[in-house]
Structure 1
């Protein structure tokens, strides 16, 4: 009936939540926590991903589902499970982890060497001795913890592939996705890129934060839109969003009039080919009974939310030409999940907040404020076709990325790198070479020391160019020594007064820049305005809180201010989206 009215279906498999009888009949499906405690039935996403019994039951159900709907034209694709993020420490998962390690290292000697296990007398004498990291046992071995995180991501992917296999046994032409969730840590989304037909995610930013500009929320959300687009390098699906409010954030702010359209079109501007909601009708009970929905408890078709959804749907219909258009970008920023894991695991120099996400988004913000389209890359991706690579806080170098970066700059590319980069290898063992490893000639500097700063501590920085403002250092202050690099800005206090804070260097046909510290947003914005090729930036002034995106030949301007702002050629009303 829906299909006859022009509504297609993305059909989800039910593995994300299981009935209580199944847990009682098959205890192996119950998850075990990191303290070795078998969990009771409850909640959802509460199953062991390794359990053969659960996999068999899910396989049988998925196959039956595919048989029931085989050939149904209404189905666009299958949505595997829901919000995959699982970690289980049961004996089955322990054994699967050991198998994962055996396949990777081949011998226990290789594993001990990779993990630097001799420190603190942590050598293993058999793979059977290895347990997952736990507060009850070993949780200080960096290599163990990093490989466990890799295993967890792998096991989630393997579970997903089991479900795909079940459906393909019935319909080999079926298409698949699974919905990702913002920056949740357990899964490396780039691991899935070759196994999904389209990327999708659940978009739940908190708008109208107290004493924070809407543009800050817009930037962090836009960054994730761009990351999800980059997983497949093509338009993605906004699988879930709320038309008004969630019910699980600390303060579940209601979207003000106009924010539904602005935030939804922001997803479209960054490559989404859908705007979908959880949920259609508010549940009368259960954990999400007060979560936003298109239809409220009273089924009121005159309610503001319902009318705004209806109005947005009509607008999206007129904008359908945007959906298949691809984005083009010559500037890439590296966000690497394994690097993030390594930073989270490492001890020192800062432990309270490593600042990785903050550093990446700070550079992204400056690029977007200059009207630059940005691709978000995993560090293993190809750099072909890009003119600018930004690599913030790339603590862990893997897959010989230093070789790729050198070639990139040597052949005319622009590289921007920051403090705390090129410190450890893929096993989290420190490099003996000067840091950033393999790039000291490319950058024209080497790192000597790093001084972590308290959260409210800053150091003044002076700039040596009129087009760069004075600024302040925060989070970290690296002491670097130049070889061929020249200074753009200098520290102006503490024992490193007069040392370089931001440098530039020429290397063969290209150029490189290095930030030895985290600086203010005004500095990042001015910096990129001065170093980027003109063809990458928009030829007009953008007011604060106004961003522009390009899809095909169309420019999409969005005003995230609650007031009218004047751009070079037109005015934008509060929360207005203008498509040219």
Structure 2
């Protein structure tokens, strides 16, 4: 198969010429050349233009577009256009429209108005994909196929009758017989026993909390149904164009689809990410998503398919990116493995639902800050060919698990949790210390890592438990936090003190949960530092926290049987009980944290763990940063990005490839970037 990446980083974005008259197209290519664009994503939302009536195709305009781009030496990531069915389709096949859990059928008039299980949708999509592949598979501009767009962004779940039929078949394949399903789901509770698969429905709106395992299986099924749509299109593309790589665009830390199951089916991992410029933690949460993309590809370079040049249009208030912020976040993606920096979109729309979403070429034209920054980044990327294809080596791992995410946010639990609020702070603490982190599913071989953190692995399989135990016994420092290994993959409680086999690894068992209340519940947030709603707290003290520490949201009654206590709760009903333990495991160690820590206290603990694991890093700058100075090693280059509010002076040997100046003593202003090659 052809390598998707070229000798220089890809640069460009979504190009939607169908929104504009043809006389604009030549000007687009001229300005793309001026900006350094070398890759355009074409056709994402063009189904109604490509197939104006069922079975009738109009390719003449797309022929012109691809030929014009090719003449301008701009390569094409051609979309299959199946993300938004045209009006004729919904009118002809109204049963294909998605249905919510309460029975509301959603209507056309925006995008993604289809049920992933709809036979009519899949048939029409396959027909369009085949026509596109047969017509453009040999076009010289084509370097990548772009299947659909942001699967599940608006319809991650559908509860219609077609989905119910597909769910029942998925369950038959998974459990084989109804008795096995009844056992797995625990249907003896609340008189839920099924006599046949035909009795089962998706977890639609119910009087009380639905069956937890049914709910989790529906999450799994829904992710698999979306994946089946992708695979159906990919099979056609692979049949007709076996040498053209195929991708679809992920959406960072997206709850709706288990990307661990998707990733092996993408020839190149692609991501859409829109950090909020007004969020002081934007760069921190973006770093988590970038590391996830690199990890999903097992270290291979990936493609930033979409980001914004400035403001988006879908938040209640849409702040623009500060001067230099777009550039800084672009280099963050490259530092963490991206070989392409793309945007939504090239030319800002004049009409439609995204008319106020920023673009590389804004409404106000080329004499604008945004376009000047776009030109500057394009010039710089043309000189960074040595980055392409290089990789990074991480010695720390963070377990990230969709089953735990889905399960820990269900109803009828000891506390209503936000999974990302439990995981993201650990990633932030390690990355702010200069440690590169791989995200892992947790059941692979972890023995190559010096530090492994499993935060709130609520649903833990035996394979994950065994992998954590093996890593600890092989010399790694392994950290497990509260709300871990409470359930197995069927959501059966691990009896006798929870934790399962991790009881032996950690040297502790759990007698009782003691939630503290006030959990973070801001929907969609990925908080890593300051809580806006202060929960009740509990104090901690011990050798790891010489100045004391504060536990928030959660605490537990921990009973050590073969572990050293490193911190205890002080005051309240848990006074004197263990809050942090450590058990030596030969050359390694296994730690257990029985609460959640705020950012400052977590930084103290992370520092101790990093030192124990031998991952202490040296600072690369002098002076007070007033914020995070991000440092990432990729290949033989060191990326330094100042996310702080004050300038910093670099203390790093080598030459900055962006300026050609020696890196030692180089001043980076806020949002400043250096890409340093060793001397």
TM range, smaller chain: over 0.9
**2:495 aligned counterpart, secondary structure:** coil
Range with bigger deviation, 11-20 or 289-298 = 289-298
* Pairing of 1:174-253 with structure 2 (within 5 A): 174-209=244-279, 213=280, 216-233=281-298, 234-253=300-319
Counterpart of 1:153 in structure 2 is 223
Counterpart of 1:415 in structure 2 is 478
Tell me whether 1:263 sits opposite 2:326 in the alignment.
no
Range with bigger deviation, 535-544 or 177-186 = 535-544
CA–CA distance in structure 2, aligned partners of residues 466 and 416 of structure 1? 14
Counterpart of 2:189 in structure 1 is 119
User: Which residue of 531, 540, 562 maps to 1:484?
Assistant: 562
Counterpart of 1:573 in structure 2 is 669
Counterpart of 2:4 in structure 1 is none
**1:470 aligned counterpart, secondary structure:** strand
Counterpart of 1:42 in structure 2 is 109
Structure 1: gaps of 5 or more residues:
none
Counterpart of 1:558 in structure 2 is 641
Tell me whether 1:441 sits opposite 2:507 in the alignment.
no
Cα distance 1:71–1:541, how it changes in 2: closer, same or farther (>3 A)?
Answer: closer
The Cα RMSD (Å) is: 1.8
Range with bigger deviation, 246-255 or 566-575 = 566-575
Counterpart of 2:8 in structure 1 is none
CA–CA distance in structure 2, aligned partners of residues 445 and 429 of structure 1? 20
State the number of aligned residues.
572
Counterpart of 2:174 in structure 1 is 104
CA–CA distance in structure 2, aligned partners of residues 7 and 135 of structure 1? 49
Contact kept? 2:258, 2:402, Cα under 8 Å: yes
Counterpart of 1:173 in structure 2 is 243
User: Which residue of 570, 593, 615 maps to 1:536?
Assistant: 615
User: Which residue of 464, 473, 496 maps to 2:542?
Assistant: 464
1:466 CA displacement: 6.8
CA–CA distance in structure 1, aligned partners of residues 547 and 297 of structure 2? 38
Tell me whether 1:315 sits opposite 2:380 in the alignment.
yes
**1:536 aligned counterpart, secondary structure:** coil
Tell me whether 1:427 sits opposite 2:490 in the alignment.
yes
Contact kept? 2:447, 2:470, Cα under 8 Å: no
**2:265 aligned counterpart, secondary structure:** coil
Cα distance 1:142–1:460, how it changes in 2: closer, same or farther (>3 A)?
Answer: closer
Range with bigger deviation, 557-566 or 410-419 = 557-566
Counterpart of 1:350 in structure 2 is 415
1:37 CA displacement: 3.5
Counterpart of 1:325 in structure 2 is 390
Contact kept? 1:459, 1:494, Cα under 8 Å: no
Tell me whether 1:287 sits opposite 2:287 in the alignment.
no
1:556 CA displacement: 1.0
Deviations 1:428-484 (A, max 9, x none): 110123221111121111111111112223434343327744110101011101112
Contact kept? 2:569, 2:577, Cα under 8 Å: yes
CA–CA distance in structure 1, aligned partners of residues 472 and 551 of structure 2? 27
CA–CA distance in structure 1, aligned partners of residues 220 and 87 of structure 2? 30
TM-score by length of 2: 0.81
* Pairing of 1:329-340 with structure 2 (within 5 A): 329-340=394-405
1:496 CA displacement: 0.9
TM-score by length of 1: 0.95
Contact kept? 2:450, 2:614, Cα under 8 Å: no
Counterpart of 1:143 in structure 2 is 213
Cα distance 1:138–1:451, how it changes in 2: closer, same or farther (>3 A)?
Answer: closer
Counterpart of 1:74 in structure 2 is 141
Counterpart of 1:5 in structure 2 is 72
Counterpart of 1:493 in structure 2 is 571
1:566 CA displacement: 4.5
**1:169 aligned counterpart, secondary structure:** helix
Contact kept? 1:342, 1:396, Cα under 8 Å: yes
**1:321 aligned counterpart, secondary structure:** helix
Contact kept? 1:268, 1:323, Cα under 8 Å: no
Counterpart of 2:552 in structure 1 is 474
Range with bigger deviation, 262-271 or 382-391 = 382-391
Structure 1 runs (4+) deviating above 6 angstroms are none
Deviations 1:153-188 (A, max 9, x none): 000000101111122232122211111113332211
CA–CA distance in structure 2, aligned partners of residues 335 and 230 of structure 1? 11
CA–CA distance in structure 1, aligned partners of residues 95 and 509 of structure 2? 53
Counterpart of 2:162 in structure 1 is 92
**1:140 aligned counterpart, secondary structure:** coil
Tell me whether 1:301 sits opposite 2:366 in the alignment.
yes
Deviations 1:272-330 (A, max 9, x none): 111111111111111001110122234x2111111110111111111232132111111
CA–CA distance in structure 1, aligned partners of residues 620 and 350 of structure 2? 49
**2:240 aligned counterpart, secondary structure:** coil
Cα distance 1:276–1:384, how it changes in 2: closer, same or farther (>3 A)?
Answer: same
Contact kept? 2:476, 2:613, Cα under 8 Å: no
**1:120 aligned counterpart, secondary structure:** helix
Counterpart of 2:29 in structure 1 is none
CA–CA distance in structure 1, aligned partners of residues 630 and 536 of structure 2? 29
**1:436 aligned counterpart, secondary structure:** coil
**2:492 aligned counterpart, secondary structure:** coil
CA–CA distance in structure 2, aligned partners of residues 47 and 468 of structure 1? 57
1:249 CA displacement: 1.1
**2:338 aligned counterpart, secondary structure:** coil
Deviations 1:526-555 (A, max 9, x none): 222223257533222774411211101211
Deviations 1:330-385 (A, max 9, x none): 1100110111011112522112xx03212211111111122111001123333242
Range with bigger deviation, 433-442 or 150-159 = 433-442
User: Which residue of 424, 446, 451 maps to 2:514?
Assistant: 451
Counterpart of 2:46 in structure 1 is none
